[in-house]
Amino acid sequence: MEGGEKRNRNEPSRPGQCRETKDGSTQTDCRIQGHGPRLSKVNLFTLLSLWMEMFPREEEEEEEEDSRQIRGMGLVVVREGKVVGLHCSGPELHAGQAAVLQHGVRLADSQLYFSRRPCATCLKMIINAGVSQISFWPGDPEISMLESAPRPATEEAALDAVATDKLKSNSRPHVCVLLQPPTPDLLQFVNETSRDCDFRERRSEDAEDFNRERVRYLRDFSRRFLVCTAQQHKEILIQMGLENFCAEPYFSNLRHNMRELVEVLAAVAAGVPQHHHGFHREHPGTSSGPHEEVPQQVARHCIIQARLLAYRTEDPKVGVGAVIWAKGKQVGFGGTGRLSLVGCGYNAYPAGSKYAEYPQMDTKQEDRQRRKYRYMIHAEQNALTFRTRDIRAEESTMLFVTKCPCDECIPLIRGAGITHIYTSDQDRDKDKGDISYLRFSSLKDISRFTWQKNPPDSPGASSHLVNGCVGKRSQQPEPETNGNKKLCTKRSSGAPWRGQQSRLPFLKSSGPPALDSQYTSPVL
């Protein structure tokens, strides 16, 4: 605990205990935030770990008999507030083992966020590597304790629980549950911005499709990440040595916050349609040389990673997220196969500066000195600046970004050695004065994939087809409107987000109100 305060590491924080803790962004320590409710760092890393658990495998593996006993996991490695590793379990390696193999001694003093409590086999290696903190999602652990698992798993889970508890109580790292109550109206904001984001067509029929996909994701994610009954959840928490979380009001608030975060993840995932859309390669007749592409399901998963990052933006108008992955020649560690993370980021003001010192206006401000564009660090720039490894010429290096790269970023992308760009086509070919998007279409040495609706003769979402004139983009420049804003929703009332009081009918959630600050939260 900060300030040298000593207490039981399993004890939930008391109401108001962490109220003064600042949640500065990766870039600054400002109090002013972006254009809407914002994900905290802890919740961002937690949601990324949940999403990484569902990373699609390029080649389906045969499921073993005891696969239900050991559950797959996602893992986010954080160092100095930056994401330096995204991992998931594979057919042979657990997520924790994959992280140890890839990072080695570089794991020292880093923080790890697991989508489940790791097993003793992983935990002992992670502790030995010198990590400073291990946080896990308080659901069914990696060695499943649910009754649906085979009977031999019950004994194995009990033995593993004893071993992990002993490792936890005798180790230097802080092994804990870090969940923060989502900020007020975050779920409403994420639903609206996902429903109207650039990866969806802004039509009434598409809104209905979004709601159907959101409900389907919520059902699937709830089955995976939530424990069905309160009694069963309490039994699991007690076996994991988290009996202090079973006391009220902590237990009810824990389940409520877990449910709300799962709803946020479902809305973000539903913002990128799973059917009838895909990334379409422009000029498919031209070869990208020895560099390889990724399947549609992998590309979609990566762009949703970028969408999650965008909800940490400091930009008062436009939230953008970017993730860079490299595809090596040999199968790597864990469930990501040949892919390894290069870097990720979101748009923010320069690191170490105070937010309020910089202009925050866009092109609607006539006084150009009060516009933000000369001060904002773009998502692509942050991903390249804080990359975790070098970009190698012999590998395919793919940038997934939620907004078409601007003319300021194109030379950086080319100079860094990026071979593929996956993005939306919003604002493409536009010149807005202080920021323009004219150079993306002229890229010759980088394979470009833009998100489009599949044409009628498309064989399916798995093919890479020519853009042509399919989709939302028009080649003619069009004036900027509120509908063109990324992460700025298109509302019939025209009122700004912070003044809007109405609630969507499908966003009603049950459960007690969350405490202001009920769990331990680190200063990152």
Positions marked catalytic: 380
Beta strands in 103-166 (DSSP E): 111-114, 133-136
Output the DSSP codes for 353-378.
S-GGGS--B-TT-S-GGGBSTTTPBP
Using alpha carbons, list the distances in angstroms from residue 204 to 66, 210, 454, 488, 494: 45, 10, 19, 17, 17
Structure tokens at 42: 């802890």
3-class SS letters over 154-184: HHHHHHHHHHHHHHHHCCCCEEECCCCCCCC
Looking at residue 198, what DSSP letter applies?
A: T
Exposed e or buried b for every residue in 390-418, given b needs 16+ CB within 10 A?
ebeeebbbbbbbbbbbbebbbeebeebeb
Q: Residue 493's CB: how many other CB atoms inside 10 A? A: 8
Structure tokens at 141: 């652990």
Output the DSSP codes for 279-346.
EEESSTTS--TT-----HHHHHHHHHHHHHHHTT---SS---EEEEEEE-SS--SGGGTTEEEEEEEE
What are φ and ψ of residue 313, in 5° steps?
-60, 150
Give the gyration radius of the chain's Cα atoms: 23
Structure tokens at 472: 């939302």
Q: Are 200 and 206 in contact (CB under 8 A)?
A: yes
Q: Are 245 and 251 in contact (CB under 8 A)?
A: yes
Q: Which residues contact 188 (CB under 8 A, 6 or more apart)?
A: 37, 503, 504, 507
3-class SS letters over 54-78: CCCCCCCCCCCCCCCCECCCEEEEE
Cis peptide before 249 (omega within 30 of 0): yes
Q: Which residues contact 101 (CB under 8 A, 6 or more apart)?
A: 93, 333
Which helix or strand (DSSP H or E) is residue 451 part of?
Answer: strand 447-453
Could you give the 3-state DSSP secondary structure of residue 38?
coil
Q: Where does 366-418 have alpha helices with state H?
A: 379-385, 410-416
Using alpha carbons, list the distances in angstroms from residue 357 to 315, 376, 391: 13, 12, 34
Q: Are 18 and 520 in contact (CB under 8 A)?
A: yes
Longest dimension (CA), the chain: 70
